Structure 1
Amino acid sequence: MPAAPSLDLLDLDSLLDDDERAVRDSVRAACAELVLPHVAGWYEAGDLAPEQVRELALEFGRLGVLGMHLEGYGCAGMSAVDYGVACTELEAADSGIRSLVSVQGSLAMHAIHAYGSEDQKQSWLPPMARGEAIGCFGLTEPDHGSDPGSMTTRARRDGTDWVLDGAKTWITNAPLAEVAVVWARTDDGIRGFVVPTSTPGVSTPTIHRKMSLRASVTGEIVLERVRLPQDAVLPGVRGLKGPLSCLSEARYGIVWGAMGAARSALLTALEYAGTREQFDRPISAFQLTQAKLAQMHQSWATGMLLALHLGRLKDRAGLRPEQVSVGKLNNVGAALEICRTARTILGANGISGDYPIMRHAANLESVLTYEGTAEMHTLVVGQALTGEQTYR
């Protein structure tokens, strides 16, 4: 009997230390128990029940992956590589599940942790780390995506209070969130606000009929004369630096996560090719199939090496925005191509929900454009290479 297929031809596992492998194994086991038995059904239904999301959040809180790379306030304080390998395992299960964790930790929690007051940190970070409070991040608007500097959501002073008006859209976790970090234009520039979603004037309608990220809850944040106290503003930052730094944190997780989806598709194709027979032998014995598998493996292994390099660099010295752009641009594009090629190996079976490939491919179409489109990341890299800005 042939040995079980292995992807680790380059001994990538040896590049992780014992603690990093332990994180990987624990998150993989949690996903095998909590997500994989159900995710195909969640995706087909396209509507995760609120209680299911809340239970997942509590389980991930107990596992310690919510805000796991943040220090203090009930957060695990783990390394960037630890967070990266966790994102790989989460997205190997489903991109929507990784989005739940990423938006919670790298966007909402990171914003409060990096720029919030001590009261804001003490009030929100511990319950968010436990999964008892779900957060979302309000930046994208109906008419402003790649150009957040043109946002029209407005916060104005009224006495000592702030009054917010505007709308955000395509916001992961919004319909279930207890707290939203909302970015708005003020007389002093763009500021961030910690907005409890129970505040009068806040509504978070769900976006339905998604053809991608269907195992994820997505909605809007509608703000109609929302009155907030003076201390609702994030005191530690002004301007686009705040939201863009949070996006860099989340994009870093995508660099790793996309390789999880790619690994799942590649391994599915490899296993299928070894058992599917045509012309009296497994299709893995045909040269063209092996060429596809070899190319997919090369792209996956290269992406994993890039993710690990960026993780080590982030732990040692931090990352520049263009370095994160290189990672997201390369790895999401590579993961999409791996999924598309894997689908061809499975033929008609590749579109069946009995296999994860089309689910990953559809999800990655969203990952390709959210938190920075491929076009924008291309131009960020181009500017870093040439010193010339083309999109302003």
Structure 2
Amino acid sequence: MINITSHSLEAPPHEIPIWGLRLEVQGIINHYAEVFECSRDFITAAVYAIVSTICGKHIELFDGKYNNNPNHWICVVAPSGSNKSAPIKALLEPIFKEEKLRIKKFKEEYREYKKNGGEEPVRDRLIVSDVTPEGLYQVLADKDNTKAGLLLYRDEIKGFLDDMNRYNSSGEISNYLSIYDGTPFPVDRKTQEPQWISNPFLCILGGIQPRAIANAFKPSWADEGFVQRWLYVYPQVLPEKEYKDNVLDEMYKTAWYEMTDKLSAIGDMKLLLSTEAKVLLTEFNKETAKKERDADPWVASILSKIRIQIEKWCAITHILSCGESAGAGQYFALPTSMIISEEEMRYSIECMRYFEDCGYRMLKQMKGYSSNEMTKAQLIAELVKRTERQKLNIQKLADAIGVSRQYVSKIVNQASELRGCTCDTSQLTDNEDVNSWRNRNL
């Protein structure tokens, strides 16, 4: 069972917030979501994945102990017909355009090499799709001497996961864990020369239908921590389609292309935490560590990875939140500051609340979690059992869960652990909580 802790009373956001981003970035996200009549979460997550890819290892956040590069593995979870593919492909257009130019340049260089000899050119990939593990390792090896990023995009991520199922006996999961962590690793194949991947950086973006999760993600992968390294975009409510006859405004497309162009020229940025941001991060890490102690291994792994993902997310937030002037007629500016602000960290923490909740919901779709959903009565009883008596506030508990105060009082009255103590709730009236009863009787 997924253990519930006191933080569960703080309702996570129902969608990925965007208030911490530059106004022009917010405008792009809102416009694409409106035109494609899709969840705004699809757009926000894709923007982060694309920006992370373009920035690559040029961006690094140092928290005083560890360095983190901003690679993200993002899986959009939504049923067929929710329009999760078309808007992401529209946002990927600058990437597709750049990849086409790189292919043309490589062909020219290769023809020159075949004609005149010299050093054989290496194709610098920006995006891959239907690629085997061996092919992906080769692309990563070719990029070993650069800090450029790579995006693995699959419209339906299940195809990528099915490929991993076929290759799993060869230790692919272990290699992907190393790729995520940016850890060097060797690749040995009977049909290939040994390779050493010394500088991996990979973003992944794709979608999956909820009913396909159990067959796509293997429970053993959760045991190994692979499942928990993803950020799941799992909207609880999808917008109703009105089938409006509107198209993307050229102004927003121009703004998006300008962003990607400027980001492609980004230099090395080593980001540091402000004192206020570090305080917030420390509090968040302590909170997740406390919840982790009471959680089962799968959930505990989500919480431990969230502490890494928040720094990766915050690094891109710093890029996208830049409030500096872009100049006349322009929409986006790269930040000159290398300091993560308190507001950027607070915003990133709020985003992690969303992803933490989506991660739990995703685990419930996997085998072994499908029948473990808590009823509201079970949730209340569990929270009553775990909460210090003097801190129990029935009204706030009722408001957080979305039930009446009387309903909560009834469940509290039935909690066997409270019976017989000095705050016996059997003496409570319908309009009274434990604290008010104690105050009345002391």
TM-score computed with the length of structure 1 as normaliser: 0.28
Report the TM-score, using the length of structure 2 for normalisation. Answer: 0.25
Which structure ranks higher in relative contact order (CA pairs < 8 Å, sequence separation ≥ 6)?
2
